[in-house]
Amino acid sequence: MASTHTEAPTGLVSRMLGSVERIGNKLPDPAMLFLIGLFVVWVLSALLAPVQFADIDPRSGEPIRVVNLLTGPSLAFFLSNMVSIFTSFAPLGVVLVAMLGVGVADEAGYFNTSIKLLLSVTSKRLLAPAIILVGLISHSAVDAGYVLVIPLGGIIFYAAGRHPLAGIAAAFAGVSGGFSANPVPSALDPLLQGFTQPAAQIVSPDMLVNPLNNYFFTAISSILIIALGWFITDVVIEPRLNASTPIDGDTEEAP
């Protein structure tokens, strides 16, 4: 399959995307980012501990204060309670139970079949939003989005005569970029509820939050992500790829 190789765009958007790409390539591994974030929080806690805040903690009625996490007792507490802190994490139990059901459905082929069926009945013009939508929905299937939707997006775009990297980018935008958004309830909803309820109980100790309390936000967010992803894929990403990266290979060689 051939692709027309035109002059690469040199406008403001193209230069901005090039800068984002260069900066993104220099970012460290995600595990290192979390480790760096841990040290940043520790240092900030030490710097802000002496600061007096006027805000009142509704639980105690006293001014809010920052605890220095770099003191001996704080570090000892962190190390000695690491396991109990993890096991007492509010959403952990709900997520583990939900993952059991999701795992059964995934191994039975339910998610793979549904995703392939949805993409097979989509017209060429609507491939980008359809793939992004499938990427959002795939959050319910553990890692099915990464394993199936992203490579399948490239293959489907290629088969439709479009740039496969644009399909991969659209799928990745839905799977990773839109990870918290989903038009249907998923295992993420009880996870978010596990954050929301303890926060609400700071003000009202008897507050009970429905697991779907964030559903309207995540559902509306999915519409925004699909619209933006569709526009960026068709108007920005694919023309840029067509101009700078010619298509090579054959769909028959795809896994």
Give start and end residues of each alpha helix (H) in 121-231: 127-137, 144, 150-159, 164-172, 188-203, 215-231
The closest alpha carbon to 215, from 185, 180, 178, belongs to 185
Q: Domain spans of the chain?
A: 1-88, 89-255
Token pair, residue 99, equals 């993952």
Tell me the pTM.
0.60
pLDDT in single tens digits along all 255 residues of the chain = 444 455 555 667 677 877 887 888 888 888 899 899 999 999 999 999 988 888 777 777 788 888 899 999 999 998 898 888 888 776 677 667 766 776 787 678 776 677 677 667 777 788 889 889 888 887 766 556 677 778 878 888 887 788 889 999 998 888 887 777 888 877 777 777 888 888 888 888 888 888 888 888 888 888 999 999 999 999 888 888 887 777 765 545 554
Beta carbons of 243 and 17 less than 8 angstroms apart: no
Per-residue burial over 137-174, b if 16 or more Cβ lie within 10 Å, else e, is bbbbbbebbbebbbbbbbbbbbeeebbbbbbbbbbbbb
d(CA 120, CA 140): 20
